[in-house]
Structure 1
Amino acid sequence: MKYTIDPQTLRDIPDEYEAWTQIGVAARMLGELDLAERALSKAFELRPSTAARLRLAHVLQWQGRFSEAHAEFAKCAETGEIPDFVHQHWGKCYFDEGRYAEALEHFRAALALREGGDPALVESTRIAITAAAARCS
């Protein structure tokens, strides 16, 4: 985590955005969704960005608040930033909702943007496509 040292107290002063983001992501992964929502909302407040909004939308999705999550994913898509991540995570929202054909569309769009890029991201998208396609049949 990024931090500076206060020259008067010699205590660590964290980069607040990064700290709230790390807390929020860890809380989401641990299933502490209320904490995740509070932390990621604070991170978004400190530094509004597509990535911050995407993380918050992901928590809303995990909370089963699909309408709110879709609204946030739509706002992310409007920016045109990190479109592969937007499609990948929006697809996961549709997947969790049981809307597999729509999930598959987003996963395929993510793959088209990721082809030839980071192999781990490509593989993640291929796994998502396989899972969604299996449920579409």
Structure 2
Amino acid sequence: MNFPEFKDCLLTLSEIIYFDSNEYLREKTSNPFRMKEIIDIAENLLANITNEDEKYFLMGTLGNLYRIYGELQKAVKILTECVTIASNQNNSNREIVALIRLGEAIKYKDNPMKALEIFNEVLEKCKANNNLLYLDFAIQHKGKCLLELGGIVEAEKCFKEALKLREFKGDVSLIESTRQALNFIKKRNAKYFTE
């Protein structure tokens, strides 16, 4: 499989990835075998690629896939490399994306406080560079982290802020993701008050 074919293959990932409502809406796979196949394809491509942009894309993708697959050490390692590459290139967009991905991997690795520090750093970078492209992602992931830390009120504020930004963007899948997080809080609160 070549790089363009691999990118097309990634479009099918939504069929095997879901948000687990039993684990704070963490991304999981319903088909670990297929996920491993995609990881192996990406690893093979990465070993043979020379184009720096394609290499960065593959590393970021692999970091996410390893996180979802549950290989958190590999996810953190490769995403840390992504942050370094983006930083060395002085590419603030890539650095922001890589930091968000790294924060998620660190959160999954049971270090939500460190992840929260990273998400706050990303928010500062977004605001300092007036970067609205990824601000909603930074706020959303900070909210999910706060949710896991028990900061329900703060998490809800983050989700409401992210929702406004996403409604402005008009991306239906992002809007749905944030609404799902708000509904998760609503259901959790309803359950808490009825017990």
**TM-score under structure 2 normalisation?**
0.62
Residue type of the alignment partner of 2:178: T
Question: Is the Cα–Cα contact under 8 Å of residues 163 and 179 in structure 2 kept in the other structure?
Answer: yes
Partner of 2:57: 18
Alignment of 1:104-123 (within 5 A): 104-116=156-168, 117-123=170-176
CA distance in 2, matches of 1:66, 1:72: 10
**Aligned-residue identity in percent:** 30
2:178 paired residue number:
125
Contact 1:100 1:135 in 2 (8 A): no
Task: Give the gaps of 5 or more residues in structure 1.
Answer: 3-10
Q: C-alpha separation between the residues in 1 aligned to 2:84 and 2:179? A: 33
Is residue 70 from structure 1 mapped to residue 70 from structure 2 by the alignment? no
Does structure 1 residue 59 correspond to structure 2 residue 111? no
| Structure 1 match to 2:145 | 93
Worse-matched range after superposition: 47-56 or 29-38: 47-56
Q: For the Cα contact (< 8 Å) 2:82–2:98, is it kept in 1?
A: yes
Structure 1, residues 30-74: CA drift from partner, whole Å, max 9, x if none?
Answer: 011000000100111111311111110111111121221111001
Name which of structure 1's ranges 17-26 and 29-38 shifts more when overlaid on structure 2: 17-26
Q: Note if 1:28 corresponds to 2:67.
A: yes
Instruction: Report the AA paired with residue 71 of structure 2.
Output: E
Counterpart of 1:118 in structure 2: which amino acid?
D
* Structure 2 residue identity aligned to 1:95: L
For 1:40, the equivalent position in structure 2 comes to 79
User: Which residue is equivalent to 1:102?
Assistant: 154
1:50 equivalent in structure 2: 96
Gaps of at least 5 residues in structure 2 are 5-47, 88-94, 191-195
Letter aligned with residue 174 of structure 2: L
Runs of 4+ in 1 over 4 A off after TM superposition: none
What's the TM-score once normalised by structure 1's chain length? 0.86
Distance 1:115 1:64 in 2: 31
Other-structure match for 1:84 = 136
CA distance in 1, matches of 2:150, 2:186: 12
Contact residue 58 and residue 89 of structure 1 kept, 8 A: yes
